Structure 1
Amino acid sequence: MMFGRMGWMVVGAAGLAGALAAAMAAAETVSSKTGVEAFSDWRGDAPGVWRHIRPQDLPPPLASAPKAERSQIAPRPQGALPKTLDGFSVETFAEGLSGPRVLRFAPNGDLFVTESNAGRIRAFHLADGRLEPARSKIFAADLERPYGLAFYPPGPDPKYLYVGAVSKILRFPYRKGDLEAIGPAEVVATLPRSDTGHWTRDLVFSRDGKTLFVAVGSRSNVADGHARPSAAEVADLEARNGVGASDGPELERADVLAFDPDGTNRRVYATGLRNCSGLRLRPDSDELWCVVNERDMLGDDLPPDYATHVEKGAFYGWPWYYIGAHEDPRHAGARPDLATKITTPDVLLQPHSAPLGLAFYNADQFPATFRGDAFVALHGSWNRATRTGYKVVRLRFRDGRPTGEYQDFLTGFVLDDARVWGRPVDVAVAPDGSLLVSEDANGVIYRIAHAKETP
């Protein structure tokens, strides 16, 4: 494994302060692509491009023939770095990792990373305000595809590190500064398990520490062959598991579950979320957010993936509907009772972009216009004729509410229609205000900084 240079030294910073301010102002005034223009592929991606996809912009189902074009992972070209906005720089923080996925900072500033492919958690030390890649340690190993991470209790002195594995929630004893687990894992709760379907299990605690939220993706694309229960069976199922809850192999899947910290008081918090990931709280609020991979095989430009706040008791449509009361033709007429009960998500993203990571920017290093916005990592398409995703985008917020617009922030991972050399997974704001991005195609963590930072 190789690591980037120690500390937060920036390379390639360009321009005077006045020029940077002018460039940033110009980027903020670019109009958004809407309608058909918003549904482009990788050729239309570039740092600074804004898009705004609205429910009324959606094409009809199967307007284009479904495709199954998986990308080929190419080696990272020698010296290659992704592209970002003028006034920002990109450097490699760490490379040679095994499937780095979720990034979480401990309250003391140490960085924890789930290397899901290797079944382990790695920790990077923070000393004198600088992360030291060369001093990373394996915190825990031999885990079942670990994904989500959460420190408990919330605050400056957590006692446990919680881990979302495929079939269970674990917690390790933790003391501030630990880079290796000081005791064995305890199983807090079991989770729905199958050998197929979405395996990511993201975690976050409520601000008061009383609730642990856990995202569980669906087993299937759109519950093909899903049994149609009777009205009495539906009533009983929904009384126990919420509006639009699925049964059979999808029981307690495509949802967000909630637990007390000790794993008791298990309940369904929200339903109809095909594959929710990137669980976060909007800063200084109790508002739960995630990003969602929507269903496949309805065409290149349908349906949009999305980012949304997750309301208690809300139903987001899967598998019967998408983006409000748009009925999936594969379930036509199956649940007309649900058509008026669907919560429409906040920010629609290009279909098949596969969003996985979400982070709100509440630091001061980036220009003031970024504060309160969010970043989303798009892992990239497979169910599309031409590539989309494979980038990090910025969601615009005003007064704490999303406008629905988003901007390309980090691009350049796609070589051509077949090959890519990077698949972003997660984003995290570092203690110094820079942004870290994990990508699991070639096992790299990148750092993006604003050029006003002094080397």
Structure 2
Amino acid sequence: MRTYLILLSIIVSMNSCSTPDNPTETKEEPEVIEPTDSLSSLKLPDGFKIEIYAEGVENARSMAMSDEGVLYVGTKDAGNLYALVDTDGDFKSDKKYTLAKDLNMPNGVAIKDGNLYVAEVSKLTRYDGIDQKLENLGEGTVIYENYPTEKHHGWKYIAFGPDGKLYIPVGAPCNICESKDEIYASITRINPDGSDREIYVHGVRNSVGFTWDEEGTLWFTDNGRDMLGDDMPPCELNKATEMGQHFGYPYCHGGDIADPEFGSKFPCSDFVVPAYKLGAHVAPLGVKFYTGTMFPASYSGSLIIAEHGSWNRTRKSGYRLMQVKVENGKAVSYDVFVEGWLDQEEQEAWGRPVDVLMLKDGSLLVSDDKAGMIYRISYSAA
């Protein structure tokens, strides 16, 4: 039993708010834990329902949907790239294509003009006319390959902004460190053809999810540093109002916590404070504004955040979906939307939410890299 717990802690640590300073370079078969009562253990508000959209999607991480309704799913540890198709419109995928294998942490996927963009640790590849290549992906076009090669926080979430540019984060290559190269702990952006890479914002330890509001302003999650105790620092929801802003890492955490090693170099007042302080070690990843009409009006304009869950806390935190209400451009509340992937009594999790994506009908897809599933959350007043 002791050996099992040690191995489990190693696997979990590679996917949470941060990773240990010396992550393993070898790829191990992911542990599969079957949910005891499947989805019945999940708690949702009245009127909401969660169902399986797709299962057997090993290590399902970031998602992107084409105009034709093909769902593309990246992975981190599995190294696979998937396409899921709902051929009969019943909101359940009935075809799964494994487009590629043995990629280098292909976490990030994005769609633009019918082309699929895939982010590995150090490079970006574009697959043109992707919906017509499900049976045979073929060779893509590498549009950029000069991102750092470190795997510690090296996996990338990517998305196209309202300016037409592709946004790509570069995590810190450590738990806490001061990097000489300014590319680390940043969010960058680049043209769709791979030209003119630039740093958009600094001081971002490890962002694995971002989105834009109606005004075109970038909101992003950031995973706080480890080894400062169970309850500090908070993970963060941030708002970037202009290019060049600095969000504190590694000098200041949560807007007002000076780092014990680097905090003496700059006061916290030099940096942008979080739009909202989230729970400590909850590992916020995917985030989207809810802009549909299916959910009740109280969800309109809210942010839905997938919290992947802690790895180094005495009692685990996260493993849930959260709703952050936004009023007049400010985050005003932080409440549980869906929970139950973590058994609080046993302190064991059967699932870990990663990314969220809204369908045209207003329902919500959620990826789970531990259970290997994609869920669909819908609402009916009846």
Q: TM-score band (shorter)?
A: 0.7 to 0.9
1: CA distance between counterparts of 2:132 and 2:37? 35
For the residue of structure 2 that corresponds to 1:107, the secondary structure is coil
Shift of 1:414: 1.5
1: CA distance between counterparts of 2:160 and 2:56? 31
Name which of 264, 277, 281 aligns with 1:348: 277
TM, length-normalised to structure 1: 0.72
What one-letter code is carried by the residue in structure 2 that aligns with 1:145?
M
2: CA distance between counterparts of 1:180 and 1:129? 21
What one-letter code is carried by the residue in structure 1 that aligns with 2:335?
Q
Encode CA deviations 1:145-166: one digit per residue, 9 max, x unaligned: 11111112xxxxx142111111
For the residue of structure 1 that corresponds to 2:169, the secondary structure is strand
For the residue of structure 2 that corresponds to 1:149, the secondary structure is strand
Identify if the C-alpha distance between structure 1 residues 420 and 325 changes in structure 2 by more than 3 Å, giving closer, same or farther: closer
Partner of 1:101: 61
Residue 285 (str. 1) matches residue 218 (str. 2): no
Name which of 169, 174, 177 aligns with 1:220: 174
Matches within 5 A, 1:303-318: 303-310=233-240, 311-318=242-249
Partner of 2:80: 120
Identify if the C-alpha distance between structure 1 residues 429 and 339 changes in structure 2 by more than 3 Å, giving closer, same or farther: same
Deviates more, 1:255-264 or 1:190-199: 190-199
2: CA distance between counterparts of 1:308 and 1:423? 22
Partner of 2:142: 187
Identify if the C-alpha distance between structure 1 residues 422 and 254 changes in structure 2 by more than 3 Å, giving closer, same or farther: same
Partner of 1:171: 126
Shift of 1:347: 1.5
Higher helix proportion: 1
For the residue of structure 2 that corresponds to 1:331, the secondary structure is coil
Shift of 1:199: 2.5
Encode CA deviations 1:275-301: one digit per residue, 9 max, x unaligned: 01112222x332112111010111111
What one-letter code is carried by the residue in structure 1 that aligns with 2:53?
F
Runs (5+) with no aligned partner, structure 1: 1-71, 153-157, 227-245
Residue 110 (str. 1) matches residue 70 (str. 2): yes
What one-letter code is carried by the residue in structure 2 that aligns with 1:439?
D
Shift of 1:73: 7.3
Name which of 236, 247, 250 aligns with 2:180: 247
For the residue of structure 1 that corresponds to 2:73, the secondary structure is strand
Identify if the C-alpha distance between structure 1 residues 312 and 208 changes in structure 2 by more than 3 Å, giving closer, same or farther: closer
Work out whether residues 65 and 111 of structure 2, in 8 Å CA contact, stay in contact via their aligned partners in 1. Answer: no
Work out whether residues 103 and 112 of structure 1, in 8 Å CA contact, stay in contact via their aligned partners in 2. Answer: yes
Name which of 226, 231, 234 aligns with 1:301: 231
Higher RCO, 1 vs 2 (CA within 8 Å, ≥6 residues apart):
1
Identify if the C-alpha distance between structure 1 residues 176 and 342 changes in structure 2 by more than 3 Å, giving closer, same or farther: same
Encode CA deviations 1:288-341: one digit per residue, 9 max, x unaligned: 1211101011111111101122241110110111122431112242x23x5432
For the residue of structure 2 that corresponds to 1:369, the secondary structure is helix
Identify if the C-alpha distance between structure 1 residues 80 and 361 changes in structure 2 by more than 3 Å, giving closer, same or farther: closer
Identify if the C-alpha distance between structure 1 residues 149 and 181 changes in structure 2 by more than 3 Å, giving closer, same or farther: farther
Partner of 2:110: 150
Runs (5+) with no aligned partner, structure 2: 1-30
Matches within 5 A, 1:191-202: 191-202=146-157
Work out whether residues 74 and 419 of structure 1, in 8 Å CA contact, stay in contact via their aligned partners in 2. Answer: no
Shift of 1:128: 6.1
What one-letter code is carried by the residue in structure 2 that aligns with 1:219?
P
What one-letter code is carried by the residue in structure 2 that aligns with 1:149?
V
For the residue of structure 2 that corresponds to 1:94, the secondary structure is strand
Q: Percent identity?
A: 34
For the residue of structure 2 that corresponds to 1:277, the secondary structure is coil
Taking only aligned residues, the RMSD between alpha carbons, in angstroms, comes to: 2.2
Encode CA deviations 1:122-154: one digit per residue, 9 max, x unaligned: 2222446544511222233332111111112xx
For the residue of structure 1 that corresponds to 2:270, the secondary structure is coil
1: CA distance between counterparts of 2:46 and 2:227? 37
Name which of 352, 375, 380 aligns with 1:423: 352
What one-letter code is carried by the residue in structure 2 that aligns with 1:86?
D
Partner of 2:35: 76
TM, length-normalised to structure 2: 0.85
Work out whether residues 124 and 131 of structure 1, in 8 Å CA contact, stay in contact via their aligned partners in 2. Answer: no
Matches within 5 A, 1:320-331: 320-331=251-262
1: CA distance between counterparts of 2:117 and 2:191? 13
Identify if the C-alpha distance between structure 1 residues 406 and 331 changes in structure 2 by more than 3 Å, giving closer, same or farther: same
What one-letter code is carried by the residue in structure 1 that aligns with 2:48?
F
2: CA distance between counterparts of 1:392 and 1:222? 27
Aligned residues: 349
Work out whether residues 102 and 148 of structure 1, in 8 Å CA contact, stay in contact via their aligned partners in 2. Answer: yes
Encode CA deviations 1:227-256: one digit per residue, 9 max, x unaligned: xxxxxxxxxxxxxxxxxxx315xx411110
What one-letter code is carried by the residue in structure 2 that aligns with 1:412?
G
